[in-house]
Structure 1
Amino acid sequence: MTFNTTLDSIKTYEAGKPIELVVREYGIAPDQIVKLASNENPFGCSPKVKEAVRSIIDNMALYPDDSMLKLKTALAAKYGIDPKELVIGAGSDQVIEFAVHAKAHPGAKVLMNSVTFAMYEIYAKQVGAQIVRTASRVHDMDEFYALYTEHKPQIIFLCTPNNPTGDAIDADAMLSFIGKIDSDTLVIVDGAYMEYARFKNPAKAVEPRDLIARFDNVLFLGTFSKAYGLGGMRVGYGISRAPIIEALYKVRPPFNITTLSLEAASVALEDEAFVTECIADNFREMKRYEAFAAHKGIDIIESYTNFVTLSLPEEKNSSKIAQELLKKGMIVRDLSSYGLNAIRVTVGTAAQNDRFFELTNSLL
């Protein structure tokens, strides 16, 4: 059987290994496995969310509210925007898909960082677009502008804080860059980890309301999968001016968010104190990783997220290290597929981090 030839150049996205797979492959008891590979909130979601989801469990026979009024109203209040400036997706990656399919076409160019979220390239290649990447590992706005002037891309992806490296762009530098971009180029600012950056350093904080007030060609992405602890519910969102949102709705399937997911995300916004506490704990624990890296002489990228990237010396192979940890029930992300000899580790609870240091001490 033959398929669309655009698929020939696309690599399948590899998600972090689930606990269930490690149980099957290595025969390790589930309670002995620590997953620090997918940047989930180790404390889960707010207890209020669990109560709310249980209370509507009997509604599963009915289709969800496709207007998503409750969630949109809550998000609009949080950001000080109009609900018409919102689109909801099954994770922010679905909103990326909407945007690429709405804007790009065969032969169009899409500009992104050299090391960044893999789904940008995958969605772009699905429509036959050409990928333009920077040479720098971190986002260099001068380099981005040089490539923009040379290639005139239809879409520019700015991931801040960046996944999988953890670095973040100074907000002023980003705003200055966007101000020089033609209004027909769609600039997508992926803020999946923005809650963490805002907490750690206000200079890195990008406020979507300010973005769309200043620019008519920007789409900001947010998610409930990270700081809000709802990775399993798959809820993300895009914020932009109404004309862009209207275009995205033309490629959005109906009922793309479940009833339970909509309720969970809406209630999660009511307990910001829980989220703030989780983020504060994240950065307290991150200091332990920084100390560990310093002790081992390992390069650690300054992180504005809930994970750290450990760049390993040449004599330590990241794939082998990740595999050895996996055999011991510790799941981390090997970044060799990104061209990096590095592992990415989600900052877990104190006990989970203790386990990481214990298992890794003899390997690094």
Structure 2
Amino acid sequence: MKFNDALKDIKIYEAGKPIELVVREFGIAPENVVKLASNENPKGCSPKVVKAIADNAHRAFLYPDDSFYELKDALAKRFNVQDENIIIGAGSDQVLEFISRALLTENDSVLMSKVTFAMYEIYAKQMGAKIIRTSSYEHKVDEFIEAYHKQKEQEEKPKIVYICTPNNPTGDATSKEDVLKIIDAVDKDTMVVVDGAYMEYAAAKDEKYRIEPNDIMGFDNVIYLGTFSKAYGLGGMRVGYGIGNAPMIKELYKMRPPFNISTLSLVAAIEACKDEEFVEESIALHAGQIGRYEVFAKENGFEYIESYTNFITYLFPDSMNSTEISDRLFKEGVIIRNLASYGMNAVRITIGTVKQNDRFFEMFKGVVT
């Protein structure tokens, strides 16, 4: 069987390792496994969401309301936009897929930072598009503008520019001022994707990094992406959204399959929208714990990237090896994300509960000493 040639150059996305794998391979009891690899909310999700799912479990045999009226209405009120400006996806990465399928061909290219969310590349390559990267993992304005215009001069102008802020998997953020500079620098027939999956954390830490959908609604070529997987704690329910001008959203709807999130996912997201107090508590827990990771790095002789997310990235010197460290921790029941596949001698660690973080520090010291 012959598959599309475009698939030859695509690496399969490496998801965070599950708790079940540790239990199967090493016989560690599930309650003794600490998963700090996938940036899930350590508080779980809102108790109100849990109750809503339980109350509606008997409706699991029914398809959801495919208009997503209640959810779109809640998001519209939250962000001061209209329902017609919103598209719902099975995670914000499904909206990324819609964008790639709607815009890209094998003659196109896309622009992104050196180290960023892997699905940008995967979806683009599925369409046969060429990947252009800046030289830094940070979203440096000058590098983006220079790379864009260099490709334009070569008649390979990028069709999509991805701005992931805060950036995954590094945790750094790009200010609203710099994001707008990049948007202003590209042509109006280039789509700019502002991926704000971790925006709640950045906005709480420093207002200059807060980007709201309304900040980009004046641009016909810009879309904002958000998700319920992080601060809202609904990673397992797979609900995300895109917000942009109505004509753009209408075109993306042509890519959307029917009933693309489940009935219970829809219930969970609607209820999550009502409980902002839970989000505030989640961010407070994170803010109270991340400083421990910064101190720990300094005490143990390695660097970290200042984080505007619910995780932190540790950068190791040559005397330490991220793969060895990750593998040894994994065998002890502590799951973190090795970034060797991104070309970095580094690991990404989700900031957990006090107990989870205590276990990480204890196990890490045992691994490196």
TM-score range, shorter chain: over 0.9
Q: Shift of the alpha carbon at 1:177?
A: 1.9
Displacement, 1:26? 1.2
For 2:154, the equivalent position in structure 1 comes to none
Measure the CA separation in 2 of the matches of 1:225 and 1:308: 17
Hey, what's the Cα distance between the residues in 2 that align with 1:228 and 1:275?
Answer: 6
Cα distance in 2 for partners of 1:49, 1:137 equals 36
* Paired residue secondary structure (2:269): helix
User: Which residue in 2 is equivalent to 1:28?
Assistant: 28
Paired residue for 1:47?
A: 47
Residue 252 of structure 1 corresponds to which residue in structure 2? 256
1:196 aligns with 2:201: yes
Residues 1:306 and 2:278 aligned together: no
Amino acid paired to 2:317: P
Q: Distance in 1 between matches of 2:343 and 2:185?
A: 31
Q: In 1, Cα distance between the equivalents of 2:31 and 2:166?
A: 31
Instruction: Give, in whole Å, the separation in 1 of the partners of 2:115 and 2:215.
Output: 27
CA distance in 2, matches of 1:339, 1:326: 20
What TM-score results when the alignment is normalised by the length of structure 1? Answer: 0.99
Aligned-pair distance for 1:90? 0.3
**Scaled by the length of structure 2, what TM-score is found?**
0.97
Which residue identity lines up with residue 334 of structure 2 in the other structure?
M
Aligned-partner residue type, residue 160 of structure 1: T
The equivalent of 1:108 in structure 2 is 108
The equivalent residue for 1:11 is: 11
Match of 1:315 in 2: 319
TM-superposed deviation, 1:180: 2.0
Give per-residue Cα distances to partners, 1:171-192, cap 9 Å, x unaligned: 1111122112211100000000
User: Structure 2 CA distance, aligned partners of 1:161 and 1:330?
Assistant: 25
In structure 2, C-alpha distance between the alignment counterparts of 1:174 and 1:5, rounded to whole Å: 35
Q: Distance in 2 between matches of 1:186 and 1:34?
A: 39
Code of the aligned partner of 2:133: R
User: Structure 2: which 5+ runs fail to align?
Assistant: 152-156
Partner of 1:294: 298
Residue 363 of structure 1: how far off its partner (Å)? 2.8
- Structure 2 counterparts to residues 173-322 of structure 1, below 5 A: 173-212=178-217, 214-322=218-326
- Give the length in aligned residue pairs: 363
Aligned letter for 2:17?
K
Give the Å deviation of 1:262: 0.6
Q: Deviation above 2 Å: which 4+ runs of structure 1?
A: none
**Secondary structure, counterpart of 1:111 in structure 2:** strand
RMSD of aligned residue pairs (Cα, Å): 0.7
Which one-letter code corresponds to 1:265 in the other structure? A
Matches of 1:94 and 1:11, distance apart in 2 = 18
Equivalent residue, structure 1, for 2:364: 360
AA at the equivalent of 1:95: V
C-alpha distance in 2 between matches for 1:104 and 1:141:
24
**Counterpart of 1:362 in 2: which secondary structure?**
helix
Q: Which residue is 1:137 aligned to? A: 137
Q: CA deviation at 1:241?
A: 0.3
Deviations, residues 17-49 of structure 1 (Å, cap 9, x unaligned):
000111111111111100000000000111111
Per-residue CA deviation, residues 92-126 of structure 1 (Å, 9 max, x unaligned), is 00000000110111120100000000000000000
Amino acid of the structure 1 residue aligned with 2:12: T
Distance 1:233 1:227 in 2: 13
1:154 alignment counterpart: 159
Deviation at 1:15, TM superposition (A): 0.3
Structure 2 Cα separation of the partners of residues 6 and 167 of structure 1 = 31
Counterpart of 1:57, as a letter, is A
2:53 aligned partner, one-letter code: V
Alignment partner of 1:361: what SS? helix
The residue aligned with 1:70 is 70
Query: Which secondary structure does the structure 2 equivalent of 1:273 belong to?
Result: helix
For 1:234 and 1:78, the matched residues in 2 are separated by 20
Q: AA paired with 2:50?
A: K
- The whole-number CA distance in structure 2 between the counterparts of 1:8 and 1:295 is 44
Identity %: 57
- Residues 309-333 of structure 1 show CA distances to partners (whole Å, capped at 9, x for unaligned) of 0001101110000000000000000
1:163 to 168, 173, 177: 168
Can you give the 5+ residue segments of structure 1 that lack an aligned partner in the other structure? none
Are 1:331 and 2:335 counterparts?
A: yes
Query: The residue matched to 1:71 in structure 2 has which SS?
Result: helix
Partner of 1:341: 345
Q: What is the deviation of 1:277?
A: 0.9
Following superposition, the deviation at residue 362 of structure 1 comes to 3.0
- Please tell me whether residue 89 in structure 1 is matched to residue 89 in structure 2: yes
Q: Which amino acid aligns with 2:364?
A: T
